[in-house]
Amino acid sequence: MQRKALYGLLFAGLLIAPWVGVYPVFVMKVLCFALFAAAFNLLIGYTGLLSFGHAMFLATAGYVTGFAIQSLGFPSLVGVIAGTAAATLLGFVVGLFAIRRQGIYFAMVTLAFAQMIYFIYLQAPFTHGEDGLQGVPRGTLFKAIDLSSDVALYYLVLVVVTLAFALIVRIVHSPFGQLMTAIRENEPRAVSLGYDTDRFKLLAFVLSAGLAGLAGSLKVLVLGFETLSDAHWTMSGLVVLMTLVGGMGTLFGPVLGATIIITLEDRLGDIGAVLASATGITWFNTLGESTTIVVGFIFIVCVLAFRRGIVGEIVSRVRMLRA
């Protein structure tokens, strides 16, 4: 009940966010990356499979959605569906090869595929190379709602991300989710019980890829562009960081981790200016240029002091107090 109450309060806060001075585009960006991190956590946190190439699903969906809307004239909703389907299909193809390996070898296979996809997008005509897709129109929803309005698009993204998060919660608490956890904890035992673990790992991989693709499709609709940075290996590393900081294997942890990292990337300069004016220390003005250092410092602190992540540590302490 407490968890449901927390989710209800969070959703209520997001509902009123555009009307209390919060910048809708920034919140939409956070929501997209929160969904991306939650999709990645579905794979590593509940199945125990570490992917170093999840950025390829984010970028694939973004490029397909942007191209479908901008060049083919597809409606926005159809473009999002096409991008999500493309990422899901790519996840199925990559998963067929990746699940044949375990541990670091699985991670290296996903990284190899991601690098191959990156160089394909670097040279493919429809991606425009290093220039990327620019000026992707938002279009309309059912020819009735103009998505060029930030508020209208905000509520669409909020509804879609909420439904996707509800799907993740349902998956985790389903018999399939329990089997995913069993594979993570002791795969040989799951095999001895008669389960075809490769089939279930492939399904988990495809679900994670599809949800990551949905995040990429929504992101290109929100920002209006898609670039190679979404396909680069650093994006795959960033989603790992989001998940570890928030709490791997928890439902809300990746959401919190994505919120912290994206807020620091977008607002660290403003935070530094406020600190500089309040303390008189001019060094704070350079924080905007030191985002990578600050994020790295936070990662080190979390690894040393919060090994379960922020949410993971909170959950662990609450359980200890109850016991």
Helix (H, G, I), strand (E, B) or coil at 226: strand
| pLDDT given at position 275 | 64
Q: Of the candidates 271, 251, 275, which has an alpha carbon nearest to the alpha carbon of residue 263?
A: 271
Q: Which residues on adjacent β-strands are paired with residue 140? A: 146
Confirm whether pTM is higher than 0.85. Answer: yes
Render pLDDT for 27-37 as a digit per residue (tens, 0 to 9): 899 999 999 99
Q: How many Å from the N-terminal Cα to the C-terminal Cα in the chain?
A: 18
Q: Count helices and strands (H / E) in the chain.
A: 12, 2
Closest CA relative to residue 13, chosen from 158, 169, 226, 193? 158
The upper half-sphere exposure of residue 172, i.e. CA atoms within 13 Å in the direction of its Cβ, equals 19
Nearest to 42 by CA among 137, 180, 160, 156: 180
The list of the chain residues with pLDDT below 50 reads none
Q: Which element (helix H / strand E) includes 298?
A: helix 291-305
